[in-house]
Amino acid sequence: KPADQIGQHTLLVQASNQVIGFAEQIQKLKVNLSISGRTHSTFQNYSRLLAVMALHFKCLPTDLTETQINDYLYYLQQQHNTPSETYFKHTIYGLRALFKVENISSDHIKLPKLKRSNKLPVVLSKSEMKRLLLAPDLLKHRILIGLLYGCGLRCFEARNVQLSDLDFERAALHVRQGKGAKDRYVPLSQHLIRGLKHYIQTEKPKQWLFNGQPQANRSGTSVRGGDFDGRYSQRGVQWAITQAVKKAGITKDVSVHTLRHTYATHLLEDGLDILTIKDLLGHQSIDTTMIYLHVAQSGKNKAFSPLDTLYPL
Q: Which are the catalytic amino acids?
A: 154, 179, 257, 260, 283, 292
What is the Cα–Cα distance from 85 to 276, expressed in whole angstroms? 30
**Which 3 state secondary structure label does DSSP give 211?**
strand
Task: Yes or no: say if 121 and 291 are a contact pair by the CB < 8 Å rule.
Answer: yes
| Upper half-sphere CA count for residue 108 (Cβ side, 13 Å) | 12
Say which amino acid occupies 113. K
Say which amino acid occupies 73. L
Whole-angstrom CA distances from 87 to 50, 81, 261, 271, 313 are 11, 11, 20, 35, 47
Whole-angstrom CA distances from 181 to 33, 153, 238 are 11, 14, 23
